[in-house]
Amino acid sequence: MNQRDQELLDKQLWAVSSSPPNSGILGLGFVAVFLVGFSIGGILFAPKTHQITSHDATVLAHLNGSPPTMR
């Protein structure tokens, strides 16, 4: 590689840094993205609440040993 080739290579690689990125900041970024995604997934895909119907109340009354009431 001659001097001209070295200069062309330096021009092409001017934005490339020789120092590696800080691994602590990079790791913290990955954890933050994971937690945000986990939270959004929990909100979007949360189980729906279940309302007790009259049939459920009758089944629960039988399981508890008390007779069902007529309404």
CA–CA dist 12, 28 (Å, integer): 31
Q: What is the CA radius of gyration of the chain?
A: 32
| pLDDT tens digits, one per residue of 23-41 | 788 889 999 999 999 999 9
Can you spell out the DSSP letters for 10-68?
HHHTTT--SSPPPHHHHHHHHHHHHHHHHHHHHHHTPPPP----HHHHHHHHHHHTPPP
Query: Degrees (nearest 5) of the Cα angle 25, 40, 23?
Result: 10
- Output the pTM of the full model: 0.42
Block mean pLDDT (10 aa), the chain, length 71: 89 75 84 95 81 69 66 58
